[in-house]
């Protein structure tokens, strides 16, 4: 039989061990960041040695989707993430019941429209198949770009969360396919046009400046943010990360590495 007094003595220690297991490593010298591979993880790699000199180890965890980076930060498995725009975050919070907050904007990735079959937007035939992201933020963003290119008209031309139901004019009778954003480069040869986020376009060796038939300009409101739980903005580790990401060296790295495919937002 186990001595009840021994259990009472061990209980606090067992509780602490349980609470400390499996989550983000939260010591003052370690910061975990979820990111998509290109360009977010590449940019983070540039600040890693800078932060190391300040005594902070940056643990970069790469994801190929837009859901898990938020879920794991919300659950405390990872400290912060860097991959998303505010419209996407707002929709995610509303649909998932999370309370994640934007901390600092770092860069803009202009969304582009790509084709392996046609050289210009004007060449798209009637009934052309068009693939767009299947979640509200990036799907609405894709529709706004198609409207700007003159292919469709929307009920509210400025609504960032417009859906297919909001199309009021479709002169070419475009046929839309809503697919997961990460899969769009893989179906590019199967459709007439695909609206692809720049991180996935770059990962697929597409050059947004050269290859996109239509692309957002430098005034795009879709800034990519570092995101965390409430209170993360005052965490000294996160403060160091933001200072490093918004440094002149990183601004120069973004401008010279991506040549307009990624634009600094600071």
Q: In the beta sheet, which residues pair with residue 224?
A: 85, 107
Six-digit token pair at 257?
A: 């590495």
Burial class (CB in 10 A: 0-12, 13-18, 19+), 164: middle
**Predicted pLDDT of residue 160:** 86
Instruction: Please give the model's pTM, rounded to 2 decimal places.
Output: 0.75
Between CA 98 and CA 116 the distance in angstroms is 39
Place of tokens 């198609």: 146
Quick check: 48 and 61 in contact, CB under 8 A? Answer: no
**Predicted pLDDT of residue 1:** 42
Six-digit token pair at 96?
A: 């998932």
- CA distance to 36, 101, 241, per residue, from 247 (Å): 21, 22, 10
**Predicted pLDDT of residue 22:** 41
One pLDDT digit (tens) per residue for the chain, 266 residues: 434 343 333 343 333 333 333 445 568 999 999 999 999 999 999 999 999 999 999 999 999 999 999 999 999 999 999 999 998 999 999 999 999 999 999 999 889 999 999 999 999 999 999 999 998 989 999 999 999 999 999 999 989 889 999 999 999 999 999 999 999 999 999 999 999 998 899 889 999 989 999 999 767 778 999 999 999 999 999 999 999 999 999 999 999 999 888 999 99
**Predicted pLDDT of residue 260:** 87
């Amino acid at each position: 039989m186990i001595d009840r007094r021994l259990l009472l003595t061990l209980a606090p220690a067992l509780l602490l061990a349980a609470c400390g297991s499996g989550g983000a490593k939260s010591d003052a010298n370690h910061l975990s960041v979820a990111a998509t591979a290109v360009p977010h993880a590449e940019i983070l790699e540039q600040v890693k040695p800078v932060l190391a000199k300040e005594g902070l180890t940056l643990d970069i965890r790469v994801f190929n989707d837009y859901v898990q980076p938020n879920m794991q930060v919300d659950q405390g498995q990872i400290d912060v993430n860097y991959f998303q725009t505010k419209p996407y975050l707002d929709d995610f919070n509303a649909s998932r019941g999370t309370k994640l907050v934007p901390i600092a904007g770092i860069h803009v990735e202009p969304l582009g429209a790509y084709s392996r079959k046609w050289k210009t937007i004007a060449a798209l035939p009637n009934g052309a198949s068009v693939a767009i992201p299947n979640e509200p933020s990036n799907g609405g963003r894709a529709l706004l770009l198609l409207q700007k290119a003159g292919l469709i008209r929307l009920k509210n031309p400025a609504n960032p969360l417009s859906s297919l139901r909001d199309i009021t004019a479709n002169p070419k009778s475009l046929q839309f396919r809503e697919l997961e954003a990460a899969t769009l480069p893989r179906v590019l040869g199967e459709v007439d046009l695909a609206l692809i986020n720049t991180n996935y376009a770059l990962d697929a060796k597409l050059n947004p400046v050269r290859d996109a038939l239509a692309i957002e300009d430098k005034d795009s409101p879709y800034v990519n943010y570092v995101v965390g739980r409430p209170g993360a903005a005052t965490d000294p580790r996160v403060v160091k990360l933001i200072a490093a990401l918004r440094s002149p060296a990183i601004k120069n790295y973004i401008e010279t590495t991506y040549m307009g495919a990624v634009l600094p937002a600071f």
